[in-house]
Every structure is written in C-alpha cells, then in structure tokens.
Amino acid sequence: MKPPPFEYRAPTTVEEACAVLASLEDAKVLAGGQSLVPLLNFRLARPAYIVDINRIAAIDRIYERDGGVAVQALARQAAVEDSEIVARVCPLLTAAVRLVAHRVIRNRGTLCGNLAHADPASELPAVLLALGGHVVARSIRGERVIEADRLFSGVMETALAPDELLVEAWFPASSQPFAVIEESRRHGDFALAGVVRAVDRLALFGVAPTPVLADPRDPARGLQPSGDLEATAEFRLHLVRVLTGKAFAA
Ligand SMILES: Cc1cc2nc3c(=O)[nH]c(=O)nc-3n(C[C@H](O)[C@H](O)[C@H](O)COP(=O)(O)OP(=O)(O)OC[C@H]3O[C@@H](n4cnc5c(N)ncnc54)[C@H](O)[C@@H]3O)c2cc1C
C-alpha cells in the first residue's frame, strides 16, 4: 500500500526542526523510517505532516560523556553496532543492537528512533532501562532530560511531547556480568520475550506494554503478558523464567 497524503518538511538545523514541530498540529518526525514508513503504508499512522530530520548535519555522533556513551538522533543502529566507543564503554549495547532486525534495517534505523517508537518487544528500551540511562529531548521550550524509568509510558507511547525532538540517548557504562537474551521465531524477528541483565538488575521486554524492571529471583511475578498467534501468555511467562535463569547463570 501507499502512504496517505501528508505534507513534507525537511529542516536543516535542530532549532529549525523544533520551530517546525512547534508550529504544526499532527506532525511526525521521520528518522530512519524503518518503523514509521510501514505504519504509513499500512495506514496505521496518518500524520498531516512529516518532519524529515535527515538533512540536519552533525547530529549523528556517538561519544563518551559522564562515564557512559551518548548516541545522537541520526546515529544509525549499524553505526552503534560498529562503534569502538560503544564496544569499549557499553558492550551490553553492542550485544543488544545486534539482535535488532537485520543489518539492512540497522543501516537506516536509528537508535533514538527505536527508543522514540517504543515498541514493547524492542531490545534497546529494555537496555536503557536496565542500565538506568536517559534521553535528552529538545523543543522551543529548551532541553530536558527524561530518565529511562519515566520515558516509556505505554505501547508505542513515551513521555516525549508531540513537539519534542529526541536529540540524544545516554547509556551508562555496562559492567560485567551482563546478558541480553531473547526468543524469537526467526533471527531478526521481534522477540516473543526477552531479558536484559546488567549486573544484578533485570529488565524484561515483550511481556508488558513497556519494558519493565523485575526481580531476578521471581521475574514473572505480577506480569500479565498478552497472548497472540505467536505465543500464549503462559508461554511468554515460561520464557521469562527460562531466559532469566540463563542470564543469571551466564
Ligand atoms: C522487518 C523489520 C524488523 C524489525 N525488527 C526489530 C527488532 O527485532 N527489534 C527492534 O527493536 N526493532 C525492530 N525493527 C524496528 C527498527 O529497529 C526501527 O529502525 C526503529 O524502531 C525505528 O527507528 P527509525 O530511525 O527507523 O525511526 P522512524 O521509523 O523514522 O520513526 C519511528 C517513530 O519514532 C519517531 N522518531 C524517530 N526519531 C525521533 C526523534 N529523534 N525524536 C522524536 N521522535 C522520533 C517517529 O516520529 C516515529 O513515530 C524492525 C523493523 C523492520 C522493518
């Protein structure tokens, strides 16, 4: 299918992008397009405006700050995967990004777009949560930091305001032992369920509307995952227990 009609804007600076977002009702940011374009094509999203940030220069850096690694809005997932800085400072993120889709998708898809999209089965929001990272949001009102435990508010919903641009995500350094383990039907598919271990912290994905922190001794407690054609709720709970056991045995 083809996307519904929309008006297209392509700002060339962050300031311009924020001004454009503030001036428009019903606009969506376009980064890598790997989630937004399918949603448009299936007509599950019908924004009046698309604000393409790909013409903005110098917002694709990956750099060290405050003992962790910062990933800017246009850094592709493949660049994160290949980054020497990420591998050294936050190898948990390197391991997790390799589980996201396939390399061709990671060549376009951005890490920040992945967080903004907030798919409950995504690996990277759970990594941000397990490590206690944050994102930086920018708008015409200024800049604010949103901690991981306040960012994800529902299925594909975040605390970002409609006129805010996610300009950077920050991941604390990951220490040993860490693990990211998921179960999916095929390599590259979204996970049926998955776990992220960061030393003694555990975050789960694919089993709730958002990534959630859990007690490693009783990881399925309080969870009410949904069942679908891919997996029943009971199977997802079973996966959580088995994958947590593996992550903490590793
Ligand atoms: C076949 C396939 C398999 C996939 N498998 C996985 C998987 O296993 N795991 C996984 O995590 N993901 C998977 N994905 C999704 C992929 O990781 C996307 O790239 C990612 O979710 C979105 O990043 P993007 O840059 O493409 O964002 P876009 O598609 O451009 O945007 C996605 C959403 O985020 C918003 N957005 C993007 N950037 C910003 C920003 N800087 N500020 C504010 N809002 C922003 C957009 O407005 C839109 O609502 C898959 C995609 C495909 C097509």
Hey, whose CA ends up nearest to atom 53 of ligand 1? 34
Residue 1 has pLDDT above 80, yes or no: no
- The reply to whether 149 and 183 lie within a common domain is no
Q: How far apart are CA 120 and CA 118, in angstroms?
A: 6
pLDDT, tens digit (0-9, with 9 covering 90-100), for 41-56: 999 999 999 999 999 9
Using DSSP's 3-state secondary structure scheme, residue 151 falls into: helix
1 domain-assigned: no
Share of the chain above pLDDT 70, in %: 100
Q: How far apart are CA 25 and CA 12, in angstroms?
A: 20
Hey, whose CA ends up nearest to atom 19 of ligand 1? 109
Q: How far apart are CA 118 and CA 125, in angstroms?
A: 7
Q: CATH number, domain at 92?
A: 3.30.465.10
Number of domains comprising the chain: 3
Residues at CB less than 6 angstroms from ligand 1:
28-36, 38, 73, 100-101, 105, 109-110, 112-114, 116-117, 119, 122-124, 160, 165-166, 190
Which two three-digit tokens encode residue 214? Answer: 């859990």
Residue 250 has pLDDT above 80, yes or no: no
Q: How far apart are CA 170 and CA 111, in angstroms?
A: 11
Do residues 157 and 182 make contact, with C-beta atoms less than 8 angstroms apart? Answer: no
- The reply to whether 88 and 124 lie within a common domain is yes
Q: CATH number, domain at 203?
A: 3.30.390.50
Q: How far is ligand 1, taken at its centre, from the CA of residue 249, in Å?
A: 32
Residue 154 has pLDDT above 90, yes or no: yes
pLDDT at 187 (0 to 100): 86
pLDDT, tens digit (0-9, with 9 covering 90-100), for 182-224: 999 988 889 999 999 999 999 999 999 999 999 999 999 999 9
Using DSSP's 3-state secondary structure scheme, residue 94 falls into: helix
- Give the distance, in angstroms, between the CA of residue 172 and the centroid of all CA atoms in the same chain: 15
pLDDT at 188 (0 to 100): 85
Nearest to 195 by CA among 111, 95, 104: 95
Hey, whose CA ends up nearest to atom 11 of ligand 1? 122
Q: How far is ligand 1, taken at its centre, from the CA of residue 119, in Å?
A: 8
Q: How far is ligand 1, taken at its centre, from the CA of residue 111, in Å?
A: 8
Do residues 26 and 67 make contact, with C-beta atoms less than 8 angstroms apart? Answer: no
- The reply to whether 41 and 92 lie within a common domain is no
pLDDT at 199 (0 to 100): 97
Instruction: Tell me the residue range of the domain where 43 lies.
Output: 7-52
Do residues 111 and 128 make contact, with C-beta atoms less than 8 angstroms apart? Answer: no
Query: Of 134, 149, 172, at which residue does a domain stop?
Result: 172
Share of the chain above pLDDT 90, in %: 96
Q: From the alpha carbon of 31, which atom of ligand 1 is closest?
A: 30
Label each residue of 36-52 as H, E or C. HHHHHHCCCCCCCEEEE
Q: CATH number, domain at 42?
A: 3.30.43.10
Across 131-215, the runs of DSSP E, i.e. the strands, are 134-139, 142-147, 152-154, 157-158, 165-172, 178-183, 193-198, 201-205, 212-214
Q: From the alpha carbon of 188, which atom of ligand 1 is closest?
A: 8
Determine the residue of 6, 34, 36, 153 to mutate for testing ligand 1's pocket, defined as the one with the most ligand atoms within 8 A of the Cβ atom.
34
Q: How far is ligand 1, taken at its centre, from the CA of residue 164, in Å?
A: 16
Determine the residue of 41, 59, 114 to mutate for testing ligand 1's pocket, defined as the one with the most ligand atoms within 8 A of the Cβ atom.
114
pLDDT, tens digit (0-9, with 9 covering 90-100), for 91-137: 999 999 999 999 999 999 999 999 999 999 999 999 999 999 999 99
- The reply to whether 195 and 113 lie within a common domain is no
186 domain-assigned: yes
Which residue is listed with tokens 């800049």? 143
Angle (nearest 5°) at CA 195 between 244 and 205 = 135
Query: Of 156, 172, 188, at which residue does a domain stop?
Result: 172
Question: What integer best gives the mean pLDDT of the chain?
Answer: 97
2 domain-assigned: no
Q: How far is ligand 1, taken at its centre, from the CA of residue 36, in Å?
A: 7
- The reply to whether 15 and 45 lie within a common domain is yes
57 domain-assigned: no
Q: How far apart are CA 36 and CA 103, in angstroms?
A: 18
Hey, whose CA ends up nearest to atom 4 of ligand 1? 101
- The reply to whether 136 and 78 lie within a common domain is yes
Q: How far apart are CA 155 and CA 132, in angstroms?
A: 20
- The reply to whether 95 and 166 lie within a common domain is yes
Please tell me whether the overall predicted TM-score, pTM, comes out greater than 0.95 for this model.
Answer: yes
- The reply to whether 93 and 162 lie within a common domain is yes
Mean pLDDT along residues 132-160: 98
Query: Of 172, 200, 223, at which residue does a domain stop?
Result: 172
Using DSSP's 3-state secondary structure scheme, residue 226 falls into: coil
196 domain-assigned: yes
- The reply to whether 159 and 183 lie within a common domain is no
Q: Which DSSP symbol is given to 23?
A: H
CA distance to 17, 64, 153, 157, 245, per residue, from 150 (Å): 24, 23, 7, 11, 27
Do residues 42 and 19 make contact, with C-beta atoms less than 8 angstroms apart? Answer: no
Mean pLDDT along residues 17-31: 97
Q: How far is ligand 1, taken at its centre, from the CA of residue 217, in Å?
A: 32
